[in-house]
């Protein structure tokens, strides 16, 4: 295990099959929101580790190959001989991209508090997970809370993406769990559409106020073509969306998360982090797949310089 880790990402990695054009072949790739975030952060210069489980199968092996290539520590990730690695399919149409999942009973969904690498989580600067990490099973949800307790007890930061997947759990349960988790998190990274389902407020500033009131210290609300709103207790700022030739937004939110955390750890400035992450997310939609187009730091800096 790498001695000094900046970021631990907890949740379900997946293998992606992406159909770039209707009726065409499916192209293999990688996904799972926290794994995407791990790659995005590693490409921005962070030392990253995964906390999850994989199937003892060719798909699990391919994810390990990805993480090795990206310099992501996976030494604490077990291979489960009795459960598969999750898969998902992406199709594209006039309304955008559509996901179809094959993840029931996956190795990651069998995570529990007892399976966690608590020493790794307690020693990293940031723990990051999402509502999907909680939604895949009750035991995985328990693991996320146990990891949060360990990180907080060690004085580490907790980062949380409210990524809402109503195919995985009903809104009433999701809303209760997510709002409770926000109260335990330092950095909250919601998208506007999800936040409008999770909050009483519906406008961006009202949502930011509500999430800060729940206990978050930093809220970075992504709003698609309307850009990003970043709010703390004493300041807030909006960043407009960049104009790019977008082809696939599959990994845009995860690109934002990883780049935000990398720049925040580098600068301690949530607003500088949002500016950097906003550019990284824009670059990520210019290619197909969740992982392949995730930019590296030099690309983001060059884009901002222009």
Residues labelled catalytic: 254
Task: Give me the residues paired with residue 49 across strands.
Answer: 8, 73
Pair of tokens at residue 29: 């790739």
| Sheet bearing 86-93, strands edge to edge | 26-31, 14-19, 86-93, 96-102
Give the span between the Cα atoms of 51 and 116, in whole angstroms. 7
Task: Give me the residues paired with residue 31 across strands.
Answer: 14
Q: Which residues have CB under 8 Å from 255's CB, separation 6+?
A: 36, 40, 277, 280, 281, 283, 284, 294, 295
* Nearest one of 239, 181, 223, 188 to 209, comparing CA atoms: 188
């Amino acid at each position: 295990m790498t001695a000094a880790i900046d970021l631990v990402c907890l949740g379900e990695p997946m293998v992606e099959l992406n159909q770039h054009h209707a009726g065409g072949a499916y192209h293999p790739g990688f996904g799972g929101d926290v794994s995407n975030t791990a790659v995005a952060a590693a490409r921005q210069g962070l030392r990253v580790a995964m906390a999850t489980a994989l199937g003892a199968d060719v798909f699990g092996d391919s994810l390990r190959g990805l993480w090795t290539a990206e310099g992501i520590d996976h030494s604490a990730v077990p291979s489960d001989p009795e459960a598969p690695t999750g898969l998902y399919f992406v199709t594209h149409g006039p309304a955008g991209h559509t996901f179809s999942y094959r993840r029931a009973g996956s190795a990651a969904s069998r995570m529990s508090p007892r399976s966690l690498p608590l020493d790794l989580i307690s020693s990293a600067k940031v723990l990051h997970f999402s509502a999907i990490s909680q939604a895949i099973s009750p035991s995985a949800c328990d693991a996320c809370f146990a990891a949060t307790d360990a990180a907080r007890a060690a004085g580490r930061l907790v980062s949380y993406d409210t990524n809402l997947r109503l195919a995985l759990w009903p809104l009433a349960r999701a809303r209760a769990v997510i709002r409770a988790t926000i109260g335990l998190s330092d950095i909250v990274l919601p998208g506007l559409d999800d936040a409008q389902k999770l909050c009483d407020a519906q406008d961006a500033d009202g949502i930011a106020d509500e999430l800060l009131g729940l206990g978050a210290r930093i809220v970075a609300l992504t709003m698609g073509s309307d850009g990003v709103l970043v709010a703390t207790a004493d300041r807030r700022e909006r960043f407009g969306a960049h104009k790019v030739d977008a082809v696939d937004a599959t990994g845009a939110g995860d690109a934002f998360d990883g780049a935000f955390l990398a720049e925040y750890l580098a600068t301690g400035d949530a607003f500088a982090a949002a500016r950097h992450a906003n550019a990284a997310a824009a670059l990520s939609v210019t290619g197909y797949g969740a992982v392949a187009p995730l930019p590296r730091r030099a690309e983001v800096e060059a884009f901002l310089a222009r």
